[in-house]
Chain A
């Protein structure tokens, strides 16, 4: 009982003290707290600073994670765009070549086909194109490159076509000197030459450029074929033989341009 009374007495005393204190210090409330803050504030300020640092660290960590994710996404996007850019650059180059052929060789461009295989048996010199009947390719279509004539399509499947190149032994190409009169026929002479035969009256000299003529009707006129390396007389002077190096390096050919047949 005494304990309860004591507790109540202390409570009332402190309550009065608190109310009196609050009334007395009311006009100088913030100033008083500020004046006493050097005594009271250091430890809470330490905690506050630590809390702020923790918060800032957490925020920095989150930002860094964001940046990492963003960086990864951008890298993936960049790789995609680079791939696309490469593809477009190749496409542009391919179209430029096709345009050059259209301008210089013939208006009858059918397709630009990738070279997917080559016959290196030594007997024949043939190329395999990655396009076929489905893409509009037919037997008898001339095949060229920006540098010059490649050959003729001799077999067509749905998605592939076989080209007999001009150095194939079965190849026959009607040719003429670019800056002279007269016509001749160039046969393939594996592995990498043509042998052109002309009448003795035709003037052909080493270094001359031979282009397609149209006596056999297979190739459009004026497509560069090769450059004469050596000229010799045959059959007692009844024929002129010229060894010709083709302008197109078949082993480096990646794409071929297919033209409409005559």
Chain B
């Protein structure tokens, strides 16, 4: 039930943020937060497919290429599981490292799909990526407090 509510809340907030967020500024990735939150309390055989499906939903909501975010979130969830396995869970610093690892993996997934489809990769400024990570991180830390 909580997971369903979290999904509905994410959908609602994503619409709200897209209206309120300043133009030209990278918004926080709420679906990444949701995927990691779900992965935190679930085994990998559930967490990975859920992350993948959440990514597909994100693709559909963005009217974009189906699979781009799916693969991105799949990478993120996989990296998060891998990081959690190696780091002591429940502490702030490992949580930060796990998030950074997952965030980087998400973008790696995006680039992989782009390369796979021979897409032109849009010119991304590292500062944009950093801002997106910084905006997403507080939401991730907040979500960690509410275990699924």
Residues of chain A within 8 A (CB-CB) of B68 are 22
**Interface segment, one of A33-41, A97-105, A115-123, A214-222:** A33-41
The answer to whether A47 touches B16 (Cβ under 8 A) is yes
Residues of chain A within 8 A (CB-CB) of B64 are 29-30, 33
Specify the main secondary structure of chain A where it touches its partner: helix
> When the two chains form the complex, which single residue of A6, A10, A51 contacts B49, counting CB atoms closer than 8 Å?
A10
List 9 A-B residue pairs with CB atoms under 8 Å apart, sorted by A's residue number.
A6-B44, A14-B49, A19-B113, A29-B65, A43-B8, A43-B12, A44-B11, A50-B15, A51-B17
The answer to whether A52 touches B19 (Cβ under 8 A) is yes
Tell me how far the C-beta of B49 lies from the nearest C-beta in chain A, rounded to whole angstroms: 6
Judged by a CB distance under 8 angstroms, whether B89 is at the interface is no
Contact A23 to B11, CB < 8 A, known contacts A18-B67, A29-B64, A37-B60:
no
**Interface segment, one of B70-78, B93-101, B125-133:** B70-78
A19's nearest neighbour on chain B, judged by CB, is B116
Residues of chain B within 8 A (CB-CB) of A36 are 60
Residues of chain A within 8 A (CB-CB) of B146 are none
Residues of chain A within 8 A (CB-CB) of B43 are 3
Residues of chain B within 8 A (CB-CB) of A45 are 15
The answer to whether B44 touches A3 (Cβ under 8 A) is yes
Interface residues of A (CB under 8 A from B): 3-4, 6-7, 10-11, 14-15, 17-23, 25-26, 29-30, 32-34, 36-37, 40-41, 43-52, 54-55
> When the two chains form the complex, which single residue of A17, A43, A50 contacts B52, counting CB atoms closer than 8 Å?
A17
The answer to whether B20 touches A51 (Cβ under 8 A) is yes
Distance A41 CA – B18 CA, assembled complex (angstroms): 13
| Top 3 A-B residue pairs of the complex, sorted by shortest distance between their CB atoms | A51-B19, A47-B15, A22-B67
Residues of chain A within 8 A (CB-CB) of B87 are none
Residues of chain B within 8 A (CB-CB) of A40 are 11, 57, 60-61
The answer to whether B16 touches A22 (Cβ under 8 A) is no
Q: Per-position contact with A for B13-54: 1 when CB-CB < 8 Å, else 0? A: 111111110000000000000000000000111001100100
Distance A7 CA – B113 CA, assembled complex (angstroms): 20
Tell me how far the C-beta of A41 lies from the nearest C-beta in chain B, rounded to whole angstroms: 7
The answer to whether B66 touches A33 (Cβ under 8 A) is yes
The answer to whether A18 touches B74 (Cβ under 8 A) is yes
The answer to whether B70 touches A18 (Cβ under 8 A) is yes
The answer to whether B60 touches A44 (Cβ under 8 A) is no
Tell me how far the C-beta of A68 lies from the nearest C-beta in chain B, rounded to whole angstroms: 25
The answer to whether B18 touches A51 (Cβ under 8 A) is yes
Tell me how far the C-beta of B50 lies from the nearest C-beta in chain A, rounded to whole angstroms: 10
Distance A56 CA – B41 CA, assembled complex (angstroms): 39
> When the two chains form the complex, which single residue of B44, B67, B112 contacts A21, counting CB atoms closer than 8 Å?
B67
The answer to whether A51 touches B16 (Cβ under 8 A) is yes
Distance A218 CA – B65 CA, assembled complex (angstroms): 108
Residues of chain A within 8 A (CB-CB) of B62 are 33
Tell me how far the C-beta of A161 lies from the nearest C-beta in chain B, rounded to whole angstroms: 72
The answer to whether A47 touches B12 (Cβ under 8 A) is yes
Distance A46 CA – B14 CA, assembled complex (angstroms): 10
Judged by a CB distance under 8 angstroms, whether B1 is at the interface is no
Judged by a CB distance under 8 angstroms, whether B142 is at the interface is no
The answer to whether B52 touches A26 (Cβ under 8 A) is no
Distance A7 CA – B60 CA, assembled complex (angstroms): 26
